[in-house]
Structure 1
């Protein structure tokens, strides 16, 4: 701060005389912005009396023009005065529009422009005791800048928005070029015309009704409405209409500007449709779908999850935490899962865990949870999850496991008595065969053949059970080489068959080679069997791209099958009508091995035109 000039070197001068002589308005305010004193120029410019202004707050005396939606005088003055108090130095607002009321009721205002400067006055304790407000009225200077209006017209003609001004009778007194182009007229042709001359009648009536409302209410109106251009194209516009005032504050017409929002409206309609579809999904899916924020609180969830937790509507779940809706022990498990997701950004996939329904029954759910990242993927800001009730599947799996264990046990236990029956049948045939009647000898041979057939069934059952019991040991394996081994064995067993086998080279995958050999042995073996009646049998082994996933296939030109039977082909003991040998266990075993590899298998065929078996391998 500058050093204060000593009083003993200042002549005894009446400083009031200087302030009163200043030709521009000058005010002295206290720190609360109350007017303590004003010079004569102030009263002359504002046409106010001391009784109307002194000892009153500056902004009470001079409020913003309520009829000007863009009025900012109060805001700018307050900001400047606040800076004076905070920074303890003079502050200039620059040029600012601050309309003055011209009636005691302050219902009419005159447009005025000012260049104010606010200066702090310090007391003996170095505290601000007063603020001197100097301001110059530059309204006349602004009004003389007619070139600015011409520039404004050029600007408005250059913008893509349509703009116009109407008089009190709703006739155009000015329009910009985009407006004229939209209605297919020249600018000059529209002056003095109304909306009825420019637009279709139903739209014109709507526009004119809006004008009447703006004039009557003296308030700005924003509306989204349709517009039909001269070429018949219907678009959507956002229109802002404002009352136009004369110097006396009287409404003399309207000013309007409209922007094309067709793309936004289309996007909003698409978003609305998406929201409706999304709501339908949430209300009707039986899966438990949910999205949580960075604090693990629900942002949305499916209705099924809401009902599981005792809520009538899924919206009632918004903002709640797992500990608010689940038993403590379950909430703890879910929170631990999400701690990993938020901390490491890793998904929780294919996790099966128990939960309790409303009746307290233990059920099972399979859950996948994925992290939601911010835009630059630097931070996890939420979790998206889908959980599916798999109780029935768990029960089925458990029943199947028990059945498989039973089958395995029974099959094992049957081997010994079958071996005894088979052995005694052979002994009897060797010891007594020449003394038995032919009929009895036939019966004995039938017993022996039946034990062999039963033994094959037991082997098939054991192989079928082992398909899910064996541990999978994956390693990079040459599938092409495995297929060639199978083909070579088939050709060696039937050297007289004429079969063209094509095997795509270089097929490799991460698989259990022993189990996959069973797969190829069954599928290629079936192709070999079912092409037995073909003079020129053809078998092809290769790969095909299925939506970005590699599918392996075995194709033949054999007897084929009806596509309606495709799904039943993989049922245990199912055999096609007119099938060639077999017990109906092979493809069921294949389906289980492929499933253990995380893949799937399916078949396509047509009677008399061959069949194709496809399978994929999971990672």
Structure 2
């Protein structure tokens, strides 16, 4: 933990309202504010003393983002120039303790600042972040809604509109004159331009429905009323609006569209054709697909489901019987939980193919369909065959275990160091036997093995890393507490330091191997005597 003058000073740092984290020059975490820990779903005990990128790795689901690499560039800039570095908006997902290896999508506005002593030497790096996830997601949702609204208005010949509630500013879409007969100048850019054209007998009811929607926090408002066109005639319209709230829950903007219901018959026919296209789409999908009602009861399987499972066509009950017995309980539990909460449903499990009698792995995803009040009205889902990916993963895991077994049985003790700070990333069990149960992984070599400094240990690491030389040391005498009695014996080792290069022939790290030759040395001495 970061050293402070007293507990009082440490308590003040922990209680700061901002998101602050302090790192040593080797990027090991020293301390963080309570707000930072709460926001990143971490605990002080879990992160103090650990390498930053071990605690906060890249999200493997988004390999193209290079979040950790971009953040490390900022830290390296601070280390090299001893100047503050302010980053652009950075997506850096954080590990989620509740998702068993999953990550939460997060967006940050980060800055990294050097803390220097009076001589100008860098003591710490102070990392400050602002969590702007809600702002980014809100902007994304707004853009999505506007895009969806434009598609809707284009398809239904509707008039789109946007109303800035705080500034009483109304904007109208391009179909205004075509459908309602007004130019933007004629209808005006104030809210009253809409108010005075709503039929007097409908106005109060419309206002009440808007008030009910905003007071309840609803994001969707829908109303039917009569609206006066430029020629003086009233037409029935369907008005639908999406309500945007600020962080305090105050409505600040609405985005919507007005649809002329005069030709409702034509609208009904369009909806019927849309439904037919929807059902046709489900049938021609190359995947198995399904629909369920709001309570989670399956109401439809497409043809691919029946072809694969062999269930009688039209049978909707008993689908759990084609799931692998080891998976069925977890599938049912997850499905009922999502039906209860309305969350996205996603599971990987095995389904039996009636033609072969064998089970194949599928990834099933179900999405809730919401009504105008934001409540789940139905579910739609599909299966993706992931059998090949699963088999490939199993083969990789088997090879990893085989390699680890080979390394563990090897007479050579191995250690992998990475980066210019020589951070330990991997050791074989023999290293524990040599030096005991120290904290190895994630720490720099100079902290792990202080007793080796007298043997030019750090100088050799620098030579191998920067000059890419392979260094061999024979018959190095090292104290070795072989039996953990507290009384080390003399032991002899042959050591080799080998640089590890990336595809650009840049040094990534160093592989150290140590082979004990104590018996050989003793035999030689006895023979010479």
TM score, norm. by length of structure 1:
0.41
Normalized per residue, which structure has more strand? 2
Task: Choose between structure 1 and 2 for higher RCO, CA contacts under 8 A separated by at least 6 residues.
Answer: 2
Q: Which has the larger radius of gyration?
A: 1
Normalized per residue, which structure has more helix? 1
